Each structure stands twice: as C-alpha cells, then as structure tokens.
Amino acid sequence: MNRRTVAHPEHGYGDDRSAALGAIAHARREPRFYIVDRELRLLSSSHGMTDAADRALPLDVHAVVLALLERRHARSAPLVAPLRGDSILRLVPTDGPEALYVIFVSQARNPLALAAKRYGFTSRELEVLELLLPGRSTSDIAAILQISHLTVLQHVRNVGHKMGTSKRKDIVAALLGIT
C-alpha cells in the first residue's frame, strides 16, 4: 500500500493523508471537509465514501475550487470564496511530497448582512460587495450593475473608508472573517 507523508505545521508529519486530514480538521473544527489531489480527485471526506457516487466533489464545490485555483495561478488571491447560501469555502494546500488540497466548507452568518449593520453600507455598496466577494473584476461589476468603471471604484473606496482599509483583499478578508 502506498503511504503518503503530509506535513502539518501544528502536528508534524502524519503517516498518511487521513492522519493529516484528521489533524487539520481537529484544529479547524470545520463541519465538512474534502481532500483532493492536484487533479481534484476526491481522496477522502468528512462524511466518508461508501460507493462510487461519493467519490466526486459536489459540482458547486468543484466549480468554486477551480475558480480559486485559476485565480491563485493568475495572482496571489486568497483561497477563500463564498459558496452557496451562507456557506464559505476555504482551500488549504498541504505540505508534502504530493500536492494535496483540503477543502473546508463551513456555515457562516451572512457576512454582507453583518457588515451592513456594522458599517452602515448603502444598498449599492452591498451590491458591489456581493460581486466583489467572489473575485469579480471592476469591469465585470460595472457591466453587471450597469454603472461606470469609475463608479464601481468609488463604491469600493467608500466601503474601504468605512472599514478602515484601502485594499480590496483586506475588505474581502474582513468580510469573510479571515485576518
């Protein structure tokens, strides 16, 4: 049997991917997780895999992970994205001889609703933020909302000012609860 060794900074080396997954899951306390290889083949998950149908990532998770990996190669973007409803997906690469990723899916309170109460965002600022969270560009946001590129930039500046930052990545990180 081919055993893999995966490093985890808090727990050292495990004798295989399931040990590393257990350590990461224990440390993170996330309700659902998946381990995938470089080709996004499902190797393990929190709910187990009893038959062939369980050996594939859910389609929505797969699509979001592909988008995150594409953005990661294009520039250093956070490996975090909203999923569906109030779920947040975090993609965590593991250290070791083989490239593996752990995907955490956690329920979260709606970050935009919480932010609207805390910072007093306008309805238009919330619309811009909703499109900014999944990583859409200024041009995409402008086209979707049918406003100018400069208006989008002004809304992002206003949001940043209210939140005390001037960087998009800091705005997204704060909204998703990552620091």
> Domain of 54: which CATH number?
3.30.450
The average pLDDT across 111-124 equals: 81
The pLDDT of residue 60 is: 84
pLDDT in tens, 160-176: 999 999 899 888 888 77
pLDDT in tens, 8-35: 344 343 445 555 555 454 444 445 788 8
Q: pTM score, two decimals? A: 0.46
The pLDDT of residue 1 is: 37
**Within a domain: 1:** no
Has residue 107 got a pLDDT over 60?
Answer: yes
Last residue of a domain, one of 90, 107, 124: 107
pLDDT in tens, 130-146: 888 888 899 999 999 99
- Residues of the chain with pLDDT > 70, as a percent, come to 68
pLDDT band with cut points at 50, 70 and 90 for residue 112 = confident
DSSP state of 140: H
Last residue of a domain, one of 107, 122, 149: 107
**128 and 102, same domain (yes or no):** no
**100 and 158, same domain (yes or no):** no
pLDDT in tens, 146-162: 999 999 999 999 999 99
Task: Provide the residue range defining the domain that includes 71.
Answer: 6-107
Higher pLDDT, 118 or 26: 118
Token pair 């309805």: residue: 123
CA distances from residue 90 to 30, 120, 126, 153 in whole angstroms, order as listed:
10, 27, 22, 27
Shortest CA distance to 18 belongs to which of 26, 10, 9?
26
- Rounded to an integer, what distance in angstroms lies between the CA atom of residue 10 and that of residue 95? 12
